[in-house]
């Protein structure tokens, strides 16, 4: 606490900083507060007096989206698709990132960059054609499998790119001494390199999960009414339920829940992941 | 199992046979670990991209067969394509400039060591990681002509209500506002981390030479920050040229195609106009533009930024 004290600002110099904080919070954070607040308000209250702080709060909107629409199912779908695609992205991506570093295999890294830069619809078109010819729209298990695989296109390049700098920091000498002890490639990777990049794995899991959870384009075209995840179903409410802002904001709050929780609980990892690559 | 024990009991055994190549020790034999990733990326990335090219050369009518570059000819004479290109570039230029300038200010704020910084940073993280669908729904409510906050705010300064998303002249600016709101904090996080990692010496030297706050920031800080700043701009560039999410949620490209970005046009061609061949052509064109702009940007970045 005291070691940093030379850089920590104090006294009157804090006033302009906190003024800046206030403006930034008003501009960039108050809409989020407004969204969560509206989720607990009656739709009629929202339309008659948008700013009335005294209006009553209730869980009605949440009850409604769970009872009238099958939101529990959509939430589970989201968890399943984001969770499975994150796991696959990590299990496949971590060894790949290791190989990129150890073999200085730039072309593989470049290929992952292509996947990151290509517009999603480029992948969606062929997958959609394939999905129809396989009969996936009417086959729930197949539909889940295709959605998870499609989301791996989001998670795999992300995991590889996030993990490369972490593997670069693992000294070759540690592995060399393990090799002298007779450890094979798989053991070297699993027992030496992988534990040393644990922070990178945490960053990858968190960011992959968020990105996969947020991604709605693939599900929009591929999912059926049983497999559709939260963001895609919320999109389909636009238009029909436009006047029911309470319900829409309850849905939005549910979709935002992982982001809101992680912003508080995993701030350090999120900042590392989002700024990783740009700042060393 | 037993070899494990044996290896542990007999350390310093003979290292693996030396091959004539100059490849370092630790690099040998690791490549099979990348095999799953190679297979998956061939199936999920390379194959769809090749398939997209085949689609672009095929007729969308049943039994239409191979039609060569006909779809690209159609593209060049399609007014809607040129419109969507112009709209995409409009979003790209306006959003990138504003997000960079505001991001510098907010990034500076995030770089300062003051009590409560972590809480502030958590709040600024949220717009960058909240799902675009939620962002779109939220701003639909904010821009609602009769009950939205946007018009209420205008009302307090005596301006008549605006039909934000229904007027082709205003809708693109409404989308710009949403994108700036959503992505300025992301830019600021990168810039803030960049500022915190700057070396102190150049600033001290400039102070000795008599430079004051602003001069130090512009003539010392900005050039030192350029490598980080340009990466943040490059990330935004790639996303802005592929701009899709919030536009599709809020306007689906309307009204009167005024927010119809290339990516939205591509999606509509595929899933609303049911013309996969033309949609593939649009996507290939979009991909080419992303690569060209990113390459130009990277080349400019190499030319103009200093490493320290």
CB pairs under 8 A between A and B: 307
pLDDT (0 to 100) of residue B20 = 47
A77-91, B49-63, B249-263: which has the highest mean pLDDT? A77-91
Q: Is A216 in contact with A12 (CB distance < 8 Å)?
A: no
Interface test with A, best of B4, B16, B45, B290 (most A CBs within 10 A): B45
Whether chain B has a CB inside 8 Å of the CB on A261: the answer is no
- For residues A165-196, one letter each, b for 16 or more C-beta atoms within 10 angstroms of the residue's C-beta and e for the rest, the string is ebbeebeeeebeebbeebbebeebbeebbbee
DSSP per-residue codes, chain A: --TTTTTS--GGGHHHHHHHHHHHIIIIIHHHHHHHHHHTS-HHHHHH-TT-TTS---SHHHHHHHHTS-HHHHHHHHHHHHHHHHHHHHHHHHHHHHHHHHTT-HHHHHHHHHHHHS-HHHHHHHHHHHHHHHTGGG-HHHHHHHHHHHHHHHHHHHHHHHHHHHHHTS-HHHHHHHHHTT--HHHHIIIIIHHHTHHHHHHHHHHHHHHHHH--HHHHHH--TTT--HHHHHHHHTTTTTT-HHHHHHHHHHHHHHHHHHHHHTHHHHHHHHHBTTB-
DSSP-derived secondary structure letter, B43: I
Placement of tokens 């003051």 in the chain: B114
Rounded Cα distance between B67 and B57, Å, is 6
Enumerate domains of chain A plus CATH numbers.
11-58 (no CATH), 70-237 (1.10.3720.10)
Taking only the tens place, the pLDDT of each residue in B207-251 is 888 888 788 888 888 888 988 998 899 999 999 999 999 999 999
Q: Among A25, A51, A103, select the one facing B27 at the smallest CB separation.
A: A103
The three-class DSSP label of residue B260 is coil
pLDDT at B308 exceeding the cut of 60: no
In the structure, what pLDDT confidence band is assigned to residue B6 with cuts at 50, 70 and 90?
A: very low
Q: A279 — phi, psi (to 5°)?
A: -120, 125
Whole-angstrom Cα distance, residue B178 to residue B225?
27
pLDDT of residue B143: 92
Decide which of A11 and B104 is more confident. Answer: B104
Rounded to whole angstroms, how far apart are CA atoms A113 and B42?
A: 14
Pick from A21, A189, A278: which is nearest to B33 by CB?
A: A189
Q: Which residues in chain A land under pLDDT 70?
A: 1-8, 50, 239-243, 277, 280
- H or E stretch including B208? helix B201-208
Chain A positions touching B126 (Cβ under 8 A) are: 29, 32, 256, 259-260, 263
Quick check: A125 and B280 CB within 8 A? yes
Structure confidence at residue B5 (pLDDT) = 44
Q: Is residue B299's pLDDT more than 80?
A: yes
The distance of B23 to chain A (nearest Cα, Å) reads 8
The 10 Å Cβ neighbour count of residue B287 is 21
Mean pLDDT of B285-308: 84
| Chain B residues inside the 8 Å CB shell of A18 | 114, 116
Q: Please report, rounded to a whole number, the percentage of residues in chain B having pLDDT higher than 90.
A: 52
pLDDT computed for residue B16 by the predictor: 53
Cβ-based contacts of B181 with chain A (< 8 Å): 27-28, 31
Å from B210 to nearest chain A CA?
21
Burial class (CB in 10 A: 0-12, 13-18, 19+), A90: buried
Q: For tokens 């599900």, what's the residue?
A: A219
Give CA–CA dist A242/B141, Å, rounded. Answer: 9
Please choose, from the candidates B262, B302, B108, B88, the residue with its C-alpha nearest in 3D space to the C-alpha of residue B175: B88
| Mean pLDDT (whole number) for B112-138 | 93
Q: In this predicted structure, what is the pLDDT of residue B64?
A: 64
Tokens of A236: 């389909």
**Å between A165 CA and nearest CA of chain B:** 16
pLDDT of residue B10: 43
- Beta carbons of B26 and A274 less than 8 Å apart: no
Chain position carrying tokens 């159609």 = B74
Q: What is the pLDDT of residue B107?
A: 95
Question: What ipTM was predicted for this assembly?
Answer: 0.90
DSSP structure class, residue B56: H
Q: Which residues pair with A201 in a beta bridge?
A: none
Contact B276 A31 (CB under 8 A): no
Q: 3-state SS of chain B: helix, strand, coil percent to 5?
A: 70, 0, 30
Residue B250 neighbours by CB under 8 Å, 6+ apart: B136, B139, B140, B143, B165, B174, B175, B178, B259
- Mean pLDDT confidence for B106-125: 93
Residue A240 contacts B, CB cutoff 8 Å:
no
Residue B69 has pLDDT above 60, yes or no: yes
Q: Which two tokens stand for residue B27?
A: 């690099």
Is residue A110 within 8 angstroms of chain B, CB to CB? no
Q: Which residues contact B115 (CB under 8 A, 6 or more apart)?
A: A8, A14
Q: What phi and psi values does residue B66 have, to the nearest 5 degrees?
A: -85, 130
Q: Report all structural domains of chain B as residue ranges with CATH numbers, in order of start.
A: 70-304 (1.10.3720.10)
CB contact under 8 A, A96 and B34: yes
Cβ atoms of A176 and A53 closer than 8 Å: no
């Amino acid at each position: 606490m005291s070691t940093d004290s030379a850089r920590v600002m104090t006294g009157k110099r804090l006033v302009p900083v906190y003024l800046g904080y206030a403006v930034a919070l008003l501009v960039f954070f108050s809409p989020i507060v407004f969204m969560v607040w509206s989720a607990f308000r009656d739709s009629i209250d929202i339309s008659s007096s948008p700013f009335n702080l005294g209006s009553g709060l209730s869980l009605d909107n949440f009850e409604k989206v769970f009872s009238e629409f099958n939101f529990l199912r959509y939430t589970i779908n989201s968890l399943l698709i984001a969770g499975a695609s994150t796991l696959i992205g990590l299990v496949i991506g971590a060894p790949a990132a290791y190989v990129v570093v150890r073999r200085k295999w730039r072309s593989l890294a470049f290929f992952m960059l292509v996947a990151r830069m290509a517009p999603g619809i480029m992948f969606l078109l062929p997958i959609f054609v394939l999905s129809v010819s396989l009969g996936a729209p009417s086959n729930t298990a197949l539909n889940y499998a295709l959605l998870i695989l499609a989301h791996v296109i989001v998670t795999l390049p992300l995991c590889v790119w996030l993990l490369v700098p972490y593997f670069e920091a693992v000294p070759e000498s540690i592995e060399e001494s393990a090799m002298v002890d007779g450890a094979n490639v798989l053991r070297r990777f699993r027992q030496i390199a992988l534990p040393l990049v644990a922070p990178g794995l945490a960053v990858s899991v968190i960011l992959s999960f968020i990105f996969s959870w947020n991604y709605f384009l693939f599900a929009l075209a591929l999912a059926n009414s049983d497999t559709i995840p939260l963001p895609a179903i919320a999109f389909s409410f636009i238009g029909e339920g436009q006047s029911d802002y309470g319900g829409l904001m309850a849905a939005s709050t549910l979709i935002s829940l992982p982001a809101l929780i992680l912003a508080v609980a995993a701030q350090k990892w999120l900042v590392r992941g989002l700024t990783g690559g740009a700042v060393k | 199992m037993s070899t494990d024990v044996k290896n542990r009991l007999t350390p310093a055994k003979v290292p693996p046979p030396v091959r004539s190549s100059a490849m370092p020790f630790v690099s040998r034999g690791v490549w099979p670990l990348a095999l799953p990733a190679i297979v998956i990326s061939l199936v999920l990335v390379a194959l769809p991209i090749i398939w997209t090219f085949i689609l672009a050369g095929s007729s969308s009518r049943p039994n239409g067969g191979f039609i060569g570059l006909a779809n690209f000819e159609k593209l060049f004479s399609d007014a809607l394509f040129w419109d969507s290109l112009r709209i995409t570039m409009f979003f790209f230029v306006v959003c990138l400039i504003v997000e960079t300038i505001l991001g510098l200010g907010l990034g500076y704020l995030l770089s300062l060591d003051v009590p409560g910084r972590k809480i502030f940073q958590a709040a600024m993280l949220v717009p960058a990681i909240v799902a675009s669908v939620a962002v779109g729904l939220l701003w639909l409510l904010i821009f609602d002509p009769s009950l939205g906050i946007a018009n209420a705010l205008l009302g307090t300064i005596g301006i008549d209500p605006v039909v934000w998303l229904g007027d082709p002249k205003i809708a693109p600016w409404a989308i710009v506002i949403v994108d700036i709101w959503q992505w300025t904090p992301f830019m600021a996080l990168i810039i803030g981390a960049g500022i915190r990692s700057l070396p102190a010496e150049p600033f001290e030297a400039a102070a000795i030479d008599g430079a004051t706050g602003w001069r130090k920031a512009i003539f010392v800080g900005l050039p030192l920050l350029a490598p980080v700043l340009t990466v943040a701009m490059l990330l935004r560039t790639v996303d802005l040229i592929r701009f899709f999410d919030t536009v599709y949620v809020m306007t689906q490209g309307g009204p009167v195609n005024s927010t119809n970005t290339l990516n939205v046009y591509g999606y509509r061609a595929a899933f609303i106009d049911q013309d996969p061949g033309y949609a593939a052509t649009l996507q290939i064109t979009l991909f080419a533009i992303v690569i060209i702009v990113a390459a130009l940007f990277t080349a400019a970045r190499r030319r103009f930024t200093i490493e320290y």
